[in-house]
């Protein structure tokens, strides 16, 4: 490796063998142990992984659950060995793959601080000098003499993270640090990241938080199904990862809309697109068109109404044809188009068929297809709607 490269991974592959025999009891364990023809299923976790991390780089690794991120960190830490390929690390590497590993629930918080410190290589005198700062950072002064088993998961992570950041190392590896903890603790983590970045500390971070990737990382990598899909500029990698998630959410929502078609109404609502393909994900201010149809046998339909409702139950907007020059007698279909000037969130449609007057309800669909609105990339506004405005000084 050149002098600036501190981690170099070349063509790394990792496979796990998953046994088909299940040991549900001591008897089955003994029987399966002496079986001659044991069967296994091979799971390819990582395939041909190659990348480099430079000294002082804040490198993010992202990907959906099960993509191989944590396995990769354990390979870098030397916990696992690759089936093929090579991993070279130049410098002292300290992994925090699971914060709190080594904690004893039967010991007090105070005792666990010294125990965990010993596991990280500190002697008792060094831990004693750092103890007050550790406790103050974790904000657990009143709880240090309680047994750890009485701590919440958030309290345990706060204590573990507070100990972990005392380690002086060339390379730090952090796995899902912000996954647990309240908003105040997460802000403390961010402050630590700010300090690491200013000090040019080499960091390898696995996270699902794309805002952290955009804000702190100087390089990033997206892993999907054990392979590198994208590597390079953090914003581009974060956008690609978000796209993966959006596609999964849209597919699940479309499936849900198909499976949960309400039978209480004869009204049919279909969200239209240019390609005539069903779509469930939209961006703020995108054009939205709905086709409302009903059986031809439905009597005396003179007017139609369509409403948009947030998943939390707030009625967002509704429109009807009562004040419009629309003649529906003898028809059984109409389209409704609207610009979705709404904030991000999950919504659903409702619709009604009416006679000549609004109190003449013929049919009503209380909960129709669902859809999601996502913010524009540069959208910094807040709230349920996106109203047109201007500033004047």
Q: What is the pLDDT of residues 295-344, one digit of tens each?
A: 988 888 999 999 999 988 899 999 999 988 888 888 899 999 999 999 98
Contact 108, 146 (CB under 8 A): yes
Of 165-174, 247-256, 303-312, 370-379, minimum mean pLDDT range: 247-256
**The CATH number of the domain covering residues in 264-374:** 2.70.50.60
Question: In the beta sheet, which residues pair with residue 221?
Answer: 61, 231
Of 11-15, 128-132, 226-230, 269-273, minimum mean pLDDT range: 269-273
Task: Tell me the average pLDDT of the chain.
Answer: 85
Other CB atoms within a 10 A radius of the CB of residue 381 amount to 12
For 57-94, what is the HEC assignment? CEEEEECCCCCCHHHHHHHHCCCCCCCEEEEEECCCEE
Q: What is the pLDDT of residues 86-125, one digit of tens each?
A: 999 998 888 877 666 778 999 999 999 999 888 888 899 9
Q: What is the pLDDT of residue 28?
A: 57
pLDDT over threshold 70, residue 1: no
Q: Which CATH architecture has domain 5-247?
A: 3-Layer(aba) Sandwich (3.40)
d(CA 340, CA 60): 34
* Tokens 């657990």 -> residue: 140
The contacts of residue 18 (CB under 8 Å, 6+ apart) are 40, 41, 42, 43
Q: What is the pLDDT of residue 34?
A: 56
Of 189-193, 249-253, 346-350, minimum mean pLDDT range: 249-253
Mean pLDDT in residue range 36-58: 85
Q: What is the pLDDT of residue 374?
A: 87
Full strand arrangement of the beta sheet holding 171-175: 93-96, 171-175, 202-206, 58-62, 219-224, 227-232
d(CA 377, CA 236): 12
Tokens of 59: 């490198």
Give residue limits of the domains in the chain.
5-247, 264-374
d(CA 214, CA 315): 34
* Residue 343 CA neighbour count, 13 Å, CB half: 11
Give the confidence band of 365 by pLDDT, cuts at 50, 70, 90: very high
Q: What is the pLDDT of residue 33?
A: 58
Strands (E) in the chain, as ranges, are 5-19, 40-54, 58-62, 84-89, 93-96, 171-175, 202-206, 219-224, 227-232, 268-272, 281-283, 287-293, 303-310, 315-320, 333-339, 345-354, 361-365, 370-374
Percent of the chain with pLDDT over 70: 88
Q: What is the pLDDT of residue 292?
A: 94
Q: What is the pLDDT of residue 306?
A: 95
Q: Does pTM top 0.85 for this prediction?
A: no
Give the confidence band of 174 by pLDDT, cuts at 50, 70, 90: confident
Q: What is the pLDDT of residue 25?
A: 59
The contacts of residue 157 (CB under 8 Å, 6+ apart) are 99, 100, 180, 181, 185
Q: What is the pLDDT of residue 281?
A: 84
d(CA 84, CA 78): 14
Of 188-202, 243-257, 372-386, minimum mean pLDDT range: 243-257
Segment of 13-27, 348-362, 374-388 carrying the highest mean pLDDT:
348-362
Q: What is the pLDDT of residues 217-232, one digit of tens each?
A: 999 999 998 999 999 9
Other CB atoms within a 10 A radius of the CB of residue 299 amount to 7
Tokens of 283: 């961006």
């Amino acid at each position: 490796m050149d002098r600036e490269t501190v981690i170099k991974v070349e063509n790394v592959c990792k496979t796990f063998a998953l046994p088909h025999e299940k040991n549900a009891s001591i008897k089955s364990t003994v029987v399966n142990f002496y079986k001659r023809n044991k069967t296994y299923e091979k799971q390819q976790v990582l395939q041909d992984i190659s990348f480099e991390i430079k000294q002082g780089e804040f490198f993010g690794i992202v990907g959906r659950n099960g993509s191989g991120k944590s396995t990769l960190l354990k390979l870098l830490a030397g916990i696992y060995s690759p089936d093929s390929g090579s991993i070279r690390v130049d410098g002292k590497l300290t992994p925090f793959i699971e914060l709190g590993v080594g904690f004893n629930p039967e010991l007090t918080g105070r005792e666990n601080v010294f125990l965990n410190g010993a596991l990280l290589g500190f002697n008792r005198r060094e831990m004693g000098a750092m103890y007050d700062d550790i406790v103050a950072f974790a904000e657990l002064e009143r709880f240090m003499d309680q047994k750890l088993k009485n701590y919440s998961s958030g309290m345990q992570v706060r204590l573990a993270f507070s100990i972990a950041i005392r380690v002086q190392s060339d390379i730090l590896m952090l796995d899902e640090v912000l996954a647990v903890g309240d908003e105040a603790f997460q802000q403390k983590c961010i402050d630590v990241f700010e300090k690491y970045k200013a000090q040019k500390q080499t960091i390898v971070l696995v996270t699902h938080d794309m805002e952290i990737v955009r804000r702190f990382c100087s390089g990033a990598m997206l892993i999907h199904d054990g392979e590198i899909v994208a590597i390079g500029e953090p914003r581009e990698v974060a956008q690609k990862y978000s796209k993966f998630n959006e596609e999964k959410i849209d597919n699940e929502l479309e499936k849900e809309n198909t499976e949960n078609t309400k039978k209480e109404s004869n009204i049919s609502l279909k969200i239209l697109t240019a390609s005539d393909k069903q779509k469930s994900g939209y961006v703020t201010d995108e054009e939205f068109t709905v086709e409302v149809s009903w059986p031809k046998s439905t009597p005396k339909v003179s007017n139609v109404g369509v409403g948009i409702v947030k998943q939390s139950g707030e009625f967002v907007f509704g429109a009807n044809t009562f004040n419009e020059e629309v003649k529906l007698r003898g028809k059984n279909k109409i389209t409704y188009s609207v610009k979705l000037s709404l904030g991000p969130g999950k919504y659903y449609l409702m619709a009604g068929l009416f006679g000549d007057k609004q109190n003449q309800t013929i049919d009503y669909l209380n909960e129709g297809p669902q859809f999601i609105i996502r913010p524009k990339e540069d959208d910094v506004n807040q709230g349920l709607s996106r109203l047109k405005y201007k500033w004047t000084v």
